[in-house]
Each structure stands twice: as structure tokens, then as C-alpha cells.
A and B are shown apart, each in its own frame.
Chain A
Amino acid sequence: MLNCKDVSKLLSESLDRKLPFWTRVRLWMHLGMCRLCWGFRRDLMHIHRETRQHADEIERDVHEAEGKLSEESRERMKRLLAPPQS
């Protein structure tokens, strides 16, 4: 029998590799009986989906106000990008 610690590990690994068939069977058997692991899986999957699907739009919209280059580095970069004086 898998214990909850094993299951939490396998749930995470299942997001990164295909688990062997019998491992998956044992995983689902445990999940069918264990409310706590089921709850953990739900949170894990939500974090997984949300971060993949919305990371970029969040950078654009929500954090618009916070992130700005400092004036100093802005000037420095502009100097670096200016066409050479002839």
C-alpha cells in the first residue's frame, strides 16, 4: 500500500513524467479512499493549471503598476542603445 507521503510525491511527479501503469493504479486506489490526499491533489492541480495558463497575462495586467525600470537604469540603457556619434 502506498502511504500519503508516497502519494503526495507521485502526484507531483505525475506532472513531470508518465508514471508506470501499476503505479497509477495504486495511486488512484489510494486517492479513492483518502480525503486528505484528494484535497492535496485538487490544490496541486489548481496551482499547476493556473500558473501555466495565466502567468503571462498576470504580468501584463495585475502588476502593471508595480514594475518599472528605475530612471537611472533607463538612462544607462538608452546610452548603450544610442547610435554611435559620428
Chain B
Amino acid sequence: MDELTEPTHKALQPITWVDQHGDYLYRYAVSRLRDGEAAEEVVQDSFVSALRHAKQYAGTGSERAWLLGILKRKIIDYVRERNRTSNLGDDDVGDLSEVLFDENGNWKREARAPGDPPLDALERQEFWRILRDCLETLPSRQADVFVLREMDDQNTEEICKDLQISASNLWVLLYRARLRLARCMKSRWQQETS
């Protein structure tokens, strides 16, 4: 709120960044990277980079929005780096479609739970708590593309370019991630309510 009422042209105050924005940026980074140490690293990198490029701050938007923009770029760099070292083979482990469908491609008996409540019946806070738990169980590459695509709403070309994968590769990863998430969230929810 107060960001809006401040004069439009103002100088940056790097000395106050940690207290003003540190925890906010950290939480944002944790939600995207699912790793506290990695989050601290990207926040620190962002501050250093912001300080170095302070001249580029136009002074029109809020300081926080500007820092968040830098952080987002750093998060993508981090994700790219950590996926460079993991190989694609790991992701086959996470292919639930082999488990959920029979040889004719029909849902297997155990995948059919009559009277399954749909996920949209979940309360918002519950939904996010379970989603977070389930994201942790995904192979890291699947979770990473899911976060970039769904939480950050990046377009597919950008993600392919950033992670240096083909479009069809990305579709497969997203499919596996979504299938696994949907199953995990459902069974987590059933466990809790039964």
C-alpha cells in the first residue's frame, strides 16, 4: 500500500533491503526451489546483482517489485544449473502412467476409486499444504518444470530455451508431473479424511 503513495522517483536504499524485503524474497525463493539453502543463495545473489546494477533502477516501480524481478531471473538460472547435472533417465522413474493404466491404456482397477471427492472440494489452504507436500515427492526436474509453467506462468518456449529441452520433452515432463501430483494429492487427502 505505502509503496503506491511514495513519490515515483526515489533512490534505492540497499542498506535496508535485508530487513525490508529479505524474508519476502526468501519465502518466494523457497516456494519455487523447495530448498532453504538454495533460496538463501539466490536471494544473496539477487541483492549483490541489484547493488551492482542499481543505476538501471528506473525509480518508477516499487523497490520490492524491482528486486523480485531480479530474483526471478536468478531462480531460473539456478534451476537451469541444477537440471544440467541431472540426466533425463531419472525422470522415467517418475512415470506413473505405467502404473496407472493397463496394457490397453485403460485406468487400472486400483486407480478407480468410486466416490472420490474431486480436488476442487478442498479448501484453499488445505490444497496448498498438500500440493507442497506432493511437490516434494516429485523427481526434481518434474517439479521444476511444473513450478515454472504453472506457478510462474512462463510460456513453454521460454522454459524450453532456459532448460535447453525440446517442446515434446517438456510436454512429457509436465504430463508426468501433473499426473503424479493429481494422484498424490488425492491419496494424501483420502488418508487424512479416512
Contacts and interface: CB of A to CB of B under 8 A. Distances in A.
Contact of A3 (B106, B181, B186): B106
Nearest to B152: A55
A23 to B, nearest CB: 13
Contacts of B26: 67-69
Contacts of A60: 24, 27
Contact of B127 (A50, A52, A76): A50
Contacts of B182: 40, 43-44, 47
**Taking chain B's interface residues, is the majority helix, strand, or loop, or is none over half, making it mixed?**
helix
Interface of B: 14-15, 17-18, 22-24, 26-28, 30-31, 40, 43-44, 47-48, 51, 97, 101, 104-107, 111-112, 116, 118-120, 124-125, 127-129, 131, 149-153, 156, 167, 170-171, 174-175, 178-179, 181-182, 185-186
A58 interface: yes
Given A12-B174, A78-B15, 20 more contacts: A4-B106, A6-B105, A12-B179, A17-B156, A36-B107, A43-B119, A43-B120, A48-B150, A58-B124, A59-B27, A64-B27, A67-B23, A68-B26, A69-B18, A69-B43, A76-B44, A77-B22, A77-B43, A80-B48, A81-B17
A73 interface: yes
Given A6-B105, A47-B119, A74-B22, A16 B149 contact: yes
6 contacts: A47-B119, A52-B150, A67-B26, A80-B44, A81-B51, A83-B15
Contact of B118 (A39, A63, A66): A39
Query: In the complex, which of the residues A40, A52, A83 has the most CB atoms of chain B within 10 Å of its own CB atom?
Result: A40
A24 B101 CA distance: 21
A47 B40 contact: no
